[in-house]
Amino acid sequence: MRIDVLTLFPEMFAPMDHSIMKQAQEEGVLSFETHNFRRNPVNKHGHVDDYPYGGGAGMLLRVEPIVDTLEELEMTDKSRVILMDPAGKPFTQDLAQEWSQEEHLVFICGHYEGFDHRVRDYITDEVSIGDYVLTNGELPTMVMIDSTVRLIPEVVGNAHSIVEESHQRNLLEHPQYTRPREYRGKSIPDVLLSGHHSNIELWQQKEAIRRTYNNRPDLLEKAELTDQEREWVKEFESQ
């Protein structure tokens, strides 16, 4: 996969040189590059923003520096250009899964009060990380890249672990434990020490439903539940 990022702050992407993102690049699975669109300013002072027509607080990013930088990239009809914007559709695990199968992603990071609306003529996706406002688009871009790249089959070694993760079925992951067996009076569930794999799996499934019911009941409305899982939901509702 190839990922290009248009940003005013390329130095913020230092995390891309660590952990799984670094490994993916070293193994040739991921090609990652940032592009500072301040290199295409609209005047000799290096400006890439301007006051909004009609008035209003703050400054808007102008369309020319962004489009000029996009046109410098080797784009194809398979390139997907993603604009970071609080007004965009919410980023989800399903969208990360969809993006992980693409050949080329381009992220455009905003700053100031937003973009000249004409930038949207050059994008394919307008995406938000959540219903809140950040000072720039770099942070959500890194989150989205991390969530997407780790779903590429060659990146994370244990594919089974990805299948069991939170949000893969619109359910939260079941509780997990490691040593010590007891800590300050709190012991791990006996079933996990039983060695009875079918009982352990059943416990994990039920606890995933319980955790989702308690923490994110909204997800249950979208999840495709089995008959047994629906029975567990009814059990929790009656408690």
Rounded Cα distance between 200 and 61, Å, is 54
Tell me if 38 sits within 8 A of 169, measured CB to CB. no
| Residue 131 among known ligand-binding residues | yes
DSSP class of 125: E
137 annotated among ligand-binding-site residues: no
Q: How far apart are CA 11 and CA 180, in angstroms?
A: 41
- The C-alpha atoms of residue 50 and residue 116 are separated, in whole angstroms, by 9
Scan for tokens 């999840």, then name that residue.
223
CB count within 10 Å of CB 50 equals 14
Q: Residue 43 contacts by C-beta under 8 Å, 6 or more apart in sequence?
A: none
Report d(CA 49, CA 62) in Å as an integer.
5
Tell me: is residue 185 an annotated ligand-binding position. Answer: no
Tell me if 40 sits within 8 A of 64, measured CB to CB: yes
Residues 6+ apart with CB under 8 A from 216: 172
Complete edge-to-edge strand list for the sheet that includes strand 125-128? 31-36, 2-7, 104-108, 79-90, 125-128
| Binding-site residue positions for S-adenosyl-L-methionine | 110, 129-134
| Binding-site residue positions | 110, 129-134
